């Protein structure tokens, strides 16, 4: 078992009971056959909204049972429609004189079971209307398109109207109009894992699947995947009809279950940056709203931004699963506080220094993949990326640096590293160059100043020789360079120090202190490796000149 479940036999009821323990909701008796979650405060005075379907789409549907949203959710097993009896039980539990609207996604099982339940409820004297949502535009030739995350537009707008006391006819009419106008499209990098079943890993590495369903159904097209931009552009093109139609659009950005919050924020930015993104007036999400278990993908649903619909979508609800609707605006940028700067001061030119910095940046960029791979064996695998980002940023401002003024140059490099290089290594190196700048202003030559900077860095960072850090390569290299003046010998000293870290079974500083000794054996510290490779580049450069 590779999922946090107890048994496939009662995973849905376990999940629903977990929800009920911390939310002011109720369930009908009748587990496991009847799984109905409903509000305690319905009062039956306003139109009841009932939706549901197969489980595996959490937080839909039970997570949206709240004032201003659903009155009840009828839950089936994973990806399986609930029974007619369960739907009828849900209708009868929450429907009063105002009547009930069933909101149903366009799948055969849901249509039939909810439809028959509606007829039985009518025979018992209840007023019931049903709206079927088919917002998926991935299969345009289907006479009955699938219902996917656009259903949430219907939940919220119909729920708002019901909470305002609108009649069943008014609520149903608005729900049908929203269902007709909504359109959705999904994309994924990997399929979902159905509990108790082997995974159908049908999406090859380097591909993205377009137009897949929320039950793990195959998509309509595989495309090459390179970046978020590549899939966002294609997806928005697929949704592009009527994007420029006067009112603009509301976008619901839905996490299908397996994308990280970081990815979802990047996708939001990327979608808004597309040519079609200029028409987006408001965004709901990004958030997991109608998922497909753990599918590594997302869907975009669009709805015309009619003012009455916008007001309904923006009305507050006490429901954690509903992320709210937020108007799209420009990024607000405020100046840095006094005393901080991100660009160097007065620039000056020195061709040899400029060339050295450019070559240094290129050397660190070339190490990126190797350092990441090395760091992944004992850490979080980002040393190369961190160093490369700092190198890119420094290279971009070479022409603005005070290249002919060593103390000022050392200070400028410190400033750049402090804002562009993440993690503790960025801070430590910024301290090194800041202290070196102070020493150079006091009269030390550059090498002596750098050695003083290393001493200060060791003081603040707490690392010493033998602690399995970059110090083990940097200190021997600088000491050798000060003693002999030979870059070749300094490079040899750095390599010897770096290699020695592979034989150190215990780290006394940095993130490696949390790593077991067995995992450190035979692995060179990535910071020390970076120093050794850098001095090797300096030696080779000196020889070629």
Integer Cα distance of 219 and 136 in angstroms: 12
Q: Give the tokens for residue 220.
A: 């309509």
Helix, strand, or coil (residue 27): strand
Give CA 355 to chain center in angstroms: 39
* Alpha helix stretches (DSSP H) within 182-255: 228-238
Integer Cα distance of 179 and 270 in angstroms: 26
Integer Cα distance of 228 and 263 in angstroms: 9
Integer Cα distance of 193 and 5 in angstroms: 13
* Beta strand extents in 24-110 (DSSP E only): 25-27, 36-39, 48-55, 72-78, 100-105
Do residues 280 and 249 touch, judged by C-beta distance below 8 A?
yes
- What 3 state SS string does 197-218 have? CCCCCCCCCCEEEECCCCCCCC
Integer Cα distance of 420 and 389 in angstroms: 7
Integer Cα distance of 157 and 149 in angstroms: 14
Helix, strand, or coil (residue 318): coil
Contacts of 250 (CB under 8 A, 6+ apart): 153, 280, 281, 282, 283, 284, 302, 303, 304, 305, 309, 310, 313, 325
Antiparallel, parallel or unpaired: β 296-304 and 128-133: unpaired
Task: Name the residue with tokens 């220094």.
Answer: 353
Integer Cα distance of 74 and 16 in angstroms: 11
Could you check whether the bond before residue 48 is cis, i.e. omega within 30 degrees of 0? Answer: no
Do residues 240 and 276 touch, judged by C-beta distance below 8 A?
yes
Task: Name the residue with tokens 């200190």.
Answer: 475
215 is a catalytic site residue: yes
**Angular region, 339: left φ>0, alpha ψ -120 to 50, beta rest:** left
Give CA 348 to chain center in angstroms: 42
Task: Pick the catalytic residue from 61, 215, 279, 296.
Answer: 215
Give the chain's radius of gyration (CA, Å).
31
Task: Name the residue with tokens 């998922």.
Answer: 291
Antiparallel, parallel or unpaired: β 48-55 and 221-224: unpaired
Q: Indicate which residues carry an active-site annotation.
A: 215
């Amino acid at each position: 078992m590779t999922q946090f479940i107890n048994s496939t036999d009662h995973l849905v009821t376990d999940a629903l009971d977990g929800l009920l323990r911390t939310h002011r909701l109720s369930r009908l008796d009748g587990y496991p056959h009847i799984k109905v979650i409903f509000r305690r405060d319905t009062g039956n005075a306003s139109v009841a909204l009932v939706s549901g379907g197969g489980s595996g789409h959490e937080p839909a549907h039970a997570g949206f049972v709240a004032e201003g949203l659903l009155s009840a959710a009828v839950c089936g097993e994973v990806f399986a429609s609930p029974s007619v009896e369960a739907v009828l039980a849900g209708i009868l539990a929450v429907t009063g004189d105002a009547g009930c609207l069933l909101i149903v996604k366009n799948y055969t099982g849901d249509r039939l079971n909810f439809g028959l339940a509606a007829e039985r409820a009518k025979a018992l004297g209840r007023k019931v209307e049903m709206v079927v949502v088919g917002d998926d535009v991935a299969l345009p030739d289907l006479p009955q398109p699938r219902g996917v995350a656009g259903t949430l537009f219907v939940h919220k707008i119909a729920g708002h109207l019901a909470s305002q006391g609108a009649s069943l006819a008014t609520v149903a009419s608005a729900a049908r109009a929203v269902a007709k106008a909504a359109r959705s499209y999904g994309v994924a990098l990997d399929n979902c894992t159905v509990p108790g079943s082997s995974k159908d890993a049908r999406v090859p590495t380097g591909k993205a699947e377009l137009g897949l369903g929320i039950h793990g159904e195959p998509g309509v097209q595989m495309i090459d995947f390179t970046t978020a931009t590549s899939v966002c552009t294609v997806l928005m093109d697929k949704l592009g009809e009527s994007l420029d139609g006067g009112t603009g659009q509301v976008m619901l950005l839905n996490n299908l279950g397996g994308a990280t919050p970081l990815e979802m924020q990047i996708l939001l930015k990327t979608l808004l940056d597309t040519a079609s993104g200029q028409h987006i007036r408001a965004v709901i999400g990004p958030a997991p709203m109608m998922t497909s278990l753990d599918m590594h993908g997302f869907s975009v649903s669009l709805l015309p931004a009619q003012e009455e619909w916008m007001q309904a979508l923006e009305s507050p609800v006490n429901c954690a699963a509903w992320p709210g609707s937020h108007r799209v605006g420009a990024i607000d940028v405020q100046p840095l506080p006094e005393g901080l700067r991100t660009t160097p001061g007065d620039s000056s030119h020195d061709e040899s220094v400029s060339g050295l910095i450019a070559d240094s940046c290129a050397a660190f960029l070339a190490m990126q993949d190797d350092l990441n791979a090395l760091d992944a064996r004992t850490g979080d695998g980002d040393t190369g990326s961190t160093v490369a980002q700092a190198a890119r940023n420094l290279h971009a401002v070479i022409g603005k640096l005070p290249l002919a003024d060593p103390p000022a140059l050392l200070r400028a490099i410190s400033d750049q590293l402090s804002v562009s290089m993440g993690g503790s290594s960025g801070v430590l190196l910024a301290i090194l160059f800041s202290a070196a700048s102070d020493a150079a202003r006091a009269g030390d030559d550059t090498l002596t100043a750098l050695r003083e900077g290393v001493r200060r860095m060791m003081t603040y960072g707490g690392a010493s020789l033998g602690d399995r850090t970059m110090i083990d390569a940097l200190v021997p290299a600088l000491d050798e360079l000060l003693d002999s003046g030979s870059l070749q010998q300094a490079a040899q000293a750095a390599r010897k120090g770096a290699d020695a870290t592979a034989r150190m079974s215990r780290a006394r500083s940095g993130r490696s202190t949390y790593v077991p000794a067995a995992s450190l054996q035979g692995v060179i510290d990535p910071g020390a490796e970076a120093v050794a490779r850098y001095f090797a580049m300096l030696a080779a450069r000196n020889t070629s000149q």
